[in-house]
A and B are shown apart, each in its own frame.
Chain A
């Protein structure tokens, strides 16, 4: 338990009630260790996005427990959840979700602003993160001036700049061409090698192959959980 980043116990999520109720997740049990690289796979409607939203503290489960770094998420109020998202989780979205008309550097600085990091320190760390994702020469570019792959790298820099407990990537390569997909996967791999826990939600086998552990979901249940030797 000491090294687990995520622990999920009998986690269920239901939309609606009564006869029309949809069971998105059915009593999921899951534990993710510090430093792991996990791919959560499944077809659309399998419940993988719901799981990702709950793991990211964006949504609350209907039943069951979720501990992130031994913190029971059910005990946290909205302000505390914001702190958890800010300090423990780094998000990477399929559609990049950068703030428009705002430079790459400022986009990466933003999460640190909510943590009260000083301006100079933010600058320094954001520049460092952008350099780490290979965008040292694109810092002052705005999102619309960057390619899809570049935008996603900015998003990854934004996710890792706060040194979170885990990086949650939701279909990170879903909107990218093959070349960019390779770049992003390589980047996530690199990130993991340096010790960051990475959880990727995907329906692409190629993406899943990059991971050390693959969890397959179908109809809200885990049907496979395989780990390859490191």
Chain B
């Protein structure tokens, strides 16, 4: 073939595109929409998946929750069936035995209560009021941001001290510092010693609308709580969470004399297992969005085929002239392929730019996370779209018999 005069071929392809700007722009627009929607929609999918992942990380992948199921009402149940043993401080102590549970770092009992707290004439009912041990803060991955923690001594002395979440802090104190303020909860005086770092919202539950107090104080303040609601367990590291869960099950079975899992009166949960399902559903969302975007890219490709067929028909006579003056088939084929690829690449490049631009904004509450792979895929696919969808019309042009092409009016 030698030199086909590639510059001439490029010039011809450009002439084809520029000779009908409106038509070319609309075709480019089709590819642009396809490419940018691939980028934006996968970014939205990725963004919502990333949001879920962050949530999991905040809640802590090494935290494990043991819940009593004896009363059939879960750990939050007030009334427990007499046959169920329920969770006890003794269970917690057993879980803290390093000999039986090498992968458990610590376990803290939790007593859930409902109480109303007042400060001056402001009153608020936190979504969650817990009595526990100081080790809870680490086990539940709930560090204090301002102020400090209450101590084991406070537990022993049943003191009215509390660490509160940011939502409750705002509700009671607005912008004032809550530290060392005395509030009244369930009729008792409680001193706020710390405010926890914000965790955000999980589903319907505001993780920051909480108050955490010594378990002994809650037991004393609110009568009728013999057993505890939950045990918060922390594994030694994220890798050991599953092993720690197995140890929890073994210890609880032995504590509660349970022979099979079917008769278990407790449940062992890991935050990440709870949220795994929502990660899966956001993956499904990403795939679904990508599929929709791929369809629009396909439609853009069909637009190219369409316009290239028109272009070939319009220039049939020109093809005849080129063939008469000695253009080989390959030159005509290349010319029309380059024309199609120029259309699709122009669409691809502008689509990438538009996609990246729009992905800077939050869409339907999701902050899009652009993945390099989606950008590359969209771009490469757009180039291929030109090749594949332009290939047929280009081949048609190249295969025209010169005599027929010349006669074409």
Instruction: Give residues in A with beta carbon < 8 Å to B.
Output: 53, 56, 58-59, 78-79, 82-83, 85-87, 91, 93, 97-102, 106, 109-111, 113-116, 119, 158, 162
Give the contacting residue for B325; candidates A53, A91, A101; CB below 8 A. A91
Q: List 6 A-B contacts (CB under 8 A).
A: A59-B403, A93-B406, A97-B317, A106-B11, A110-B5, A114-B327
Given contacts A58-B406, A82-B323, A99-B318, A114 and B5 within 8 Å (CB-CB): yes
**Is the pair A110, B402 in contact by a Cβ cutoff of 8 Å?**
no
CB of B121 within 8 Å of the partner chain: no
Give the contacting residue for A82; candidates B11, B318, B328; CB below 8 A. B328
CA distance A106 to B325 in the complex (A): 13
Give a binary string over B301-336; 1 marks a CB under 8 Å from any A CB, 0 the rest: 000000000000000011011111111111100000
**Is the pair A91, B318 in contact by a Cβ cutoff of 8 Å?**
no
What's the interface size class on B, roughly? 20 to 34
Give the contacting residue for A114; candidates B15, B318, B326, B401; CB below 8 A. B326
CB of B288 within 8 Å of the partner chain: no
**Which residues does chain A contribute within 8 Å of B403, judged by CB atoms?**
53, 58-59
**Which residues does chain B contribute within 8 Å of A109, judged by CB atoms?**
8
CB of B21 within 8 Å of the partner chain: no
Given contacts A99-B318, A102-B15, A85 and B325 within 8 Å (CB-CB): yes
- How many inter-chain contacts with C-beta < 8 Å in the A-B complex? 75
Tell me which residues from 72 to 99 in chain B have a Cβ below 8 Å from any Cβ of chain A: none
**Which residues does chain A contribute within 8 Å of B328, judged by CB atoms?**
79, 82-83, 86, 114
CA distance A114 to B324 in the complex (A): 11
Chain A residue with Cβ nearest B321:
A97
User: Among the interface residues A58, A59, A99, which one has the most CB atoms of the partner chain B within 10 A?
Assistant: A58
CB of B205 within 8 Å of the partner chain: no
Chain A residue with Cβ nearest B3:
A116
Give the 3 A-B CB pairs with smallest separation, nearest first.
A86-B326, A113-B5, A116-B2
**Which residues does chain A contribute within 8 Å of B322, judged by CB atoms?**
99, 110
CA distance A115 to B7 in the complex (A): 14
CB of B19 within 8 Å of the partner chain: yes
**Is the pair A86, B325 in contact by a Cβ cutoff of 8 Å?**
yes
CB of B4 within 8 Å of the partner chain: yes
**Is the pair A91, B324 in contact by a Cβ cutoff of 8 Å?**
yes
**Is the pair A114, B4 in contact by a Cβ cutoff of 8 Å?**
yes
**Which residues does chain A contribute within 8 Å of B318, judged by CB atoms?**
99-100
**Shortest CB–CB separation between residue B372 and chain A, in angstroms?**
39
CA distance A115 to B19 in the complex (A): 27
* Given contact pairs A101-B15, A110-B322, a sample of 7 additional A-B residue pairs in the complex whose CB atoms are under 8 Å apart: A82-B328, A85-B402, A99-B322, A101-B19, A116-B2, A116-B4, A162-B326
**Which residues does chain A contribute within 8 Å of B321, judged by CB atoms?**
97-99
**Which residues does chain A contribute within 8 Å of B15, judged by CB atoms?**
101-102
**Which residues does chain B contribute within 8 Å of A119, judged by CB atoms?**
7
**Shortest CB–CB separation between residue B2 and chain A, in angstroms?**
4
CA distance A153 to B94 in the complex (A): 105
**Which residues does chain B contribute within 8 Å of A98, judged by CB atoms?**
321
Chain A residue with Cβ nearest B9:
A113
CA distance A56 to B65 in the complex (A): 89
**Is the pair B3, A82 in contact by a Cβ cutoff of 8 Å?**
no
**Is the pair B326, A56 in contact by a Cβ cutoff of 8 Å?**
no
CA distance A217 to B318 in the complex (A): 30
**Which residues does chain B contribute within 8 Å of A100, judged by CB atoms?**
318
**Is the pair A113, B324 in contact by a Cβ cutoff of 8 Å?**
no
CA distance A100 to B323 in the complex (A): 15
